[in-house]
Amino acid sequence: MWFWFSRSAARREEFVKVANSIVEVYAHFLHRFVCTRWIEIGILLERIVEQWNIINEYFLIFLPKIDKPLDRNERFQRIKTTLVSKITMTRFHFILYLYRTIFKKALVWFQQERPLVHVLFSECCNILRSVLLCFVKEDLVAFKQGTQLLSISYELQNNQRIDSKIEIGESTRNCLTDLSSNEKIAFYKDAREIYCTIAEELIRTLPTNNTLLRHLQCLHPLLRTESASRTNIMCITRSIPFLFNEEEIDRLSVEWRTYEMTDISDEWMEGKTGNENQNEPTAYHPIDIYWRHIFSIKTSTGSLQFIVLTKLVKCLLSLSHGNADVERSFSKNRHLVSDERASLSEQSINGLTS
């Protein structure tokens, strides 16, 4: 549909006229779908569903009246076939369900600017687990992490839920009432294939089998006193021998023990909102702010308590949890350094972006 309007101002104008004849709101043109950014298809489908009546009016009623040669237009015929099919809207609502309940939250999470490498492993496991729980029997998925999730044979029919138990969303389920029995069978078959394809892609791309990320969870304030925290931090330290010598590694072990037993104020972790409502979720400070307080702890003689630990944690928190910051910088620079401002110096650019 995007290509239908992309190179024709007349078609866009006609679409707006049709929209204004139906509703009193401006008709938003459709977004372009790019296969390499498939996870953002929800934004595109939201606009299509929002204007579904307008799109049907334009392609199925308005155009046939004013443009007779449409029978020979292959693109129009493909659009028409899609619009008249009852299963189309059902599929759209299903994809929207996946986007809104699983991927939209993940997209927002990965675009944060604060350091999140310490929770990257658990978040990736949660994404994969959420997808598997939608179509795989719950007892095979619940409470599993990392390699345990990777060992699930989700593609086996015996491990999958029956059609009525597969998560497809309420709007999708309501659309199913208008379909025939054969169309329902075809839809559920497609839904299973979509879930399996998504699971396969997530397993291939997400670092759910990454040992370093699993160990980095020990940096989380809530996991400070866990029995495995010291083992994890020592494994991380030994995996980067170029950063520490043997003496520093020994000292780090002692410093971590001290860190585990240190009395740390909750205010260093939790952000106070002034609202005493206990039903609201706890808001935590960014992890770098928490560790900045830890770095400032001093001994009774006035010297810093954590020397080697400070060096290690600073290095670990500098690891990026994604490429959103880099992509965001590219976008800012593209708008900032235009053809008319190509002579800006590096100092000027840094001053404008700071």
pLDDT in tens, 313-329: 999 998 888 777 777 77
Who has greater pLDDT, 198 or 5? 198
Q: DSSP assignment, residue 349?
A: H
Q: What is the model's pLDDT at position 354?
A: 66
Query: Residue holding tokens 């938003």?
Result: 28
What does the pLDDT look like over 11-63, one tens digit per residue?
Answer: 888 888 888 887 756 667 777 777 766 677 888 888 888 888 888 988 888 88
What does the pLDDT look like over 164-173, one tens digit per residue?
Answer: 999 999 999 9
Radius of gyration of the chain (CA): 27
Q: What is the model's pLDDT at position 34?
A: 74
What does the pLDDT look like over 297-314, one tens digit per residue?
Answer: 999 899 999 999 999 999
Q: At what angle do helices 86-98 and 181-205 cross, to 10 degrees?
A: 30
pTM of the model: 0.81
Q: What is the model's pLDDT at position 204?
A: 93
Q: Is the pLDDT of residue 213 over 90?
A: yes
Record the tokens describing residue 308, joined without a space: 């080697």
Separation CA 172–CA 218 (nearest Å): 41
Q: Which residues pair with 304 in a beta bridge?
A: 298
Phi, psi of 270 (to 5 degrees): -100, 135
